[in-house]
Amino acid sequence: MLGSGAIIVVDDTNKVVDVALKLAKFYKHESCGKCSPCREGTNWTVKMLQRIDEGVATPMDLDILSSVQDQIMGNCLCVLGDAMAMPLSSMVKKFRGEFEEHIELARTRNPYPDEVAA
């Protein structure tokens, strides 16, 4: 076997943050948990993307998210971690403006995300 690959086609009606979060949740669920980079990295990535989605994150968190993806790539027992980290890293790199815009819009919709609505 020479390897495998995948192509995900998404049109511009989908938000990149939604696509990234769905991808990360899938790989978190699929992780066997045998190696730390994948087990912890997928879990941490989902949590960070949820923070971005809720508007709690800052643009600096995008740099940290990219850095974590770089630490996952090539350090897992199998390629599952790489399969998540590579597209997520590309999404942040190519669509950073959309991530930042999403954070700001979410923040204006819910200026106090830690408070529970009564």
Q: Is the pLDDT of residue 10 over 50?
A: yes
Q: Domain boundaries in the chain?
A: 22-108
pLDDT mean across residues, the chain: 89
Closest CA to 73 of 92, 86, 90, 91: 86
* Tens-place pLDDT, residues 77-93: 998 889 999 999 999 99
Q: How many CA atoms lie within 13 A of 73 on its CB side?
A: 14
End-to-end CA distance of the chain: 57
CA 87 to mean position of chain CA atoms: 9
* Tens-place pLDDT, residues 17-53: 999 999 999 999 999 989 999 999 999 999 999 999 9
Residue 117's pLDDT band, with cuts at 50, 70 and 90, is: very low
Burial 72-106 (b: 16+ CB within 10 A, else e): bbeebeeebbbbbbebbbebbeebeeebeebbeeb
Q: Which CATH number fits domain 22-108: 3.90.1300.10, 3.30.2040.10, 3.90.1150.10, 1.20.1440.230?
A: 1.20.1440.230
